[in-house]
Amino acid sequence: MVLGGTNVPIGFVYESTQRYMTLKFHTDYSNVNTGWFLNFIASTPNATAYFNATMGTISSPNYPNLYPNSFLQFYKIVVPETKIVIVEITDFVTEPTFDYLRIIDGNNATDISQTLGLLSGNLTGNGSIPMTFYSTQSIVSLLFYTDHSINKSGWTLDFRTAPKLG
């Protein structure tokens, strides 16, 4: 993966499959800029939380109390193949930008081209809640990421199904 310019997707998680990840930062002979910043954490493989049900509720850890810092969790909602997933966010308060929930259509939790929503900040406080997302597939993948400082009350969502059309 090569990143450059100002179009790098903020809030994207790069996952290694091993204990190592190599980053190479290259600059040429002219023009400087402010550069980049990243967080990294070690995550246990296969830590995805699965929800195999036609309806349910998922919340951030400790909700409605403070979620942990330096936290990374994948969640998957898996419904019957003839159905789609409807996700309704009913409360959402995180540190803006640095703590976020990404909602992805389908089984690939790191395929940001399939992003249905990238949520961060006090969405309850600014009147954006409730917020509803509709998948096209029978699986929705979620990623909740928090950085090393400043934690909030987090989020809760309800999911249900509807028939897949076509």
Question: Which residues of the shown chain bind Ca ion in the complex (CB under 5 A)?
Answer: 95, 98-99, 146-147, 150
Three-state SS at 149: coil
In the complex, least distance from residue 64 CB atom to Ca ion, rounded to whole angstroms = 16
Beta strands, E only, the chain: 49-52, 56-59, 71-78, 83-93, 100-105, 115-119, 131-134, 139-146, 154-163
- For Ca ion, the nearest residue by Cβ is 95
Inter-residue contact 119 to 88 (CB < 8 Å): no
In the complex, least distance from residue 136 CB atom to Ca ion, rounded to whole angstroms = 31
In the complex, least distance from residue 86 CB atom to Ca ion, rounded to whole angstroms = 28
86 vs 93 by CB, closer to Ca ion: 93
Instruction: Output the CA torsion 36→23→108→51 (10° steps).
Output: -80
73 vs 146 by CB, closer to Ca ion: 146
99 vs 105 by CB, closer to Ca ion: 99
